């Protein structure tokens, strides 16, 4: 089969490699599409040991295709070895695409429990676009954050894969959604997905602007994947609000006023990815919804590096998809 391999120095090479050989509890999926996540960039150039895997490795956590043994159209749950608890993954938990070979390939081997029926209303590209980012958004908003009907939510960064899925999921659940962005056009597109309004984080005191949108009260929940913005995110919350954190694109460290947190009864809740049960619940919301995952662009597998460059530029809106067949 043809696959993209990460090699030493972060090189991405398209190579011919042996087809995966399934174990008794595995299935092989003939992929029709895969999607790019920021994690893939970190697997290429690890910022620390959490992303440093034996090389070469096939990256990619998202994929949709045809199950070879049954002919079923499936979408792949990208978590491996979650464990028995729902509040956190166990010690064997990992994500497809490092250290296990992932979806930047014509074929992928996964446990039988990791394949689910593809939502029929979605195209192959849309089906490949939502698993990892949609799962991260679903677990953060609902399983961890407890977002409820009529609550207010602020999503930082209007154009990323998680945010373009978090906005319609939250709106579907009845929440009022606000966003931040560096570009007015991204805010306008977020409104099309269900956001009520947005502010430019590049101008003025944007936490004050968010509070103005809520008549000075502050939002119930903030979804923050930046990390370095925790201080500003906390200022956007009402008393008793929840800050949901699942990323550190702005860096691994942040300074927080601890007194402000406990004197305002604020909660900071960390999360990443989600369990198989979370994924099943996400699929039910996808089936019941009328929205579709936003696909920024589709490229052939041979142009994976160009897709990575576009993600690194920050110019994309929605998911970057690779056609694998």
- Write the pLDDT tens digit of every residue in 235-278: 999 999 999 999 998 999 999 999 999 999 999 999 999 999 99
Is the separation of the CB atoms in 231 and 257 below 8 Å?
yes
2's tokens: 């043809």
pLDDT value of residue 53? 97
Contact residues for 23 (Cβ-Cβ < 8 A; gap 6+): none
Instruction: Read off the pLDDT of residues 114-149 as tens digits, 9 standing for 90 and up.
Output: 999 999 999 999 999 999 999 999 999 999 999 999
Q: What is the pLDDT of residue 325?
A: 84
d(CA 295, CA 198) in angstroms, rounded, equals: 21
Give the mean pLDDT of 294-320: 96
Q: What is the mean pLDDT of the chain?
A: 97
Kindly give, in sequence order, each residue whose CB lies less than 8 Å from that of residue 74, ignoring residues fewer than 6 positions away: 29, 64, 65, 66, 67, 115, 116, 117, 118
At 149 the pLDDT is 97
Separation CA 231–CA 238 (nearest Å): 14
Task: Tell me how far apart the alpha carbons of residues 174 and 148 are, in angstroms, rounded to a whole number.
Answer: 7
Proportion of the chain above pLDDT 90, given as a percent = 97
Run of H or E including 12:
strand 11-16
Structure tokens at 32: 């029709």
Q: Specify the CATH class of 2-130+294-323 in words.
A: alpha beta
Residue 56 tokens, joined = 């070469």
Q: Is 243 in contact with 234 (CB distance < 8 Å)?
A: yes
**What pTM does this model have?**
0.96
Q: Report how far residue 201's alpha carbon sits from residue 31's, in angstroms, rounded to the nearest whole number.
A: 39
Chain segment 268-289, per-residue pLDDT in tens: 999 999 999 999 999 999 999 9
**Helix (DSSP H) and strand (DSSP E) numbers for the chain:** 10, 17
Q: What is the rounded average pLDDT of the residues 17-22?
A: 97
pLDDT band at 162 (very low <50, low <70, confident <90, very high): very high
Task: Tell which residue, 197, 192, 150, has the closest CA to residue 170.
Answer: 150
On whether the CB atoms of residues 137 and 221 are closer than 8 A, the answer is no
Domains 2-130+294-323 and 135-270 agree in fold: yes
Residue 322 above 90 pLDDT?
yes
- Residue 223, Cβ density class (10 Å: 0-12 exposed, 13-18 middle, ≥19 buried): buried
Helix extents (H) in the chain:
38-44, 124-129, 131-138, 161-172, 184-193, 206-213, 230-236, 258-263, 276-288, 304-313
Name the packing angle between helices 131-138 and 276-288 (round to 10°): 100
**pLDDT at residue 197 is higher than 90:** yes
Residue 120: its pLDDT value, please? 96
Multiple choice CATH, 135-270, 2.60.120.460, 3.30.420.40, 3.90.180.10, 3.40.630.30 = 3.90.180.10
Per-domain residue ranges of the chain: 2-130+294-323, 135-270
């Amino acid at each position: 089969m043809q696959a993209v391999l990460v090699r030493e120095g972060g090189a991405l090479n398209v190579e011919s490699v042996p087809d995966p050989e399934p174990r008794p509890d595995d299935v092989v999926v003939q992929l029709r599409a895969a999607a790019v996540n920021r994690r893939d960039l970190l697997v290429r150039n690890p910022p620390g040991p959490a992303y440093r895997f034996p090389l070469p490795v096939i990256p990619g956590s998202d994929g949709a295709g045809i199950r070879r043994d049954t002919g079923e159209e499936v979408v792949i749950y990208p978590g491996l070895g979650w464990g028995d608890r729902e509040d956190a993954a166990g010690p064997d938990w990992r994500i497809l695409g490092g250290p296990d070979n992932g979806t930047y390939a014509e074929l992928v081997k996964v446990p039988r429990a990791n394949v689910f029926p593809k939502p029929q209303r979605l195209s192959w590209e849309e089906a490949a676009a939502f698993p990892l980012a949609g799962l991260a958004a679903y677990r953060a908003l609902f399983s961890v954050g407890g977002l409820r009907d009529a609550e207010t939510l602020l999503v930082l960064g209007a154009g990323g894969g998680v945010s373009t899925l978090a906005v319609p999921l939250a709106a579907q659940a009845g929440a009022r959604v606000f966003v931040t962005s560096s570009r007015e056009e991204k805010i306008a597109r977020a409104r099309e997905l269900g956001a009520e309004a947005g502010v430019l984080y590049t101008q003025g005191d944007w936490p004050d602007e968010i509070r103005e949108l809520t008549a000075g009260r502050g939002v119930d929940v903030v979804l923050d994947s930046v990390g370095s913005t925790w201080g500003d995110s906390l200022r956007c919350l009402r008393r008793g609000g929840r800050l949901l954190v699942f990323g550190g694109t702005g860096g691994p460290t942040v300074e927080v006023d601890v007194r402000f947190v406990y004197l305002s009864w604020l909660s900071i809740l960390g999360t990443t990815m989600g369990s198989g049960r979370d994924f099943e619940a996400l699929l039910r919301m996808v089936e019941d919804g009328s929205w579709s995952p936003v696909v920024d662009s589709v490229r052939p597998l041979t142009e994976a590096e160009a897709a990575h460059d576009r993600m690194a530029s920050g110019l994309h809106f929605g998911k970057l998809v690779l056609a694998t067949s």
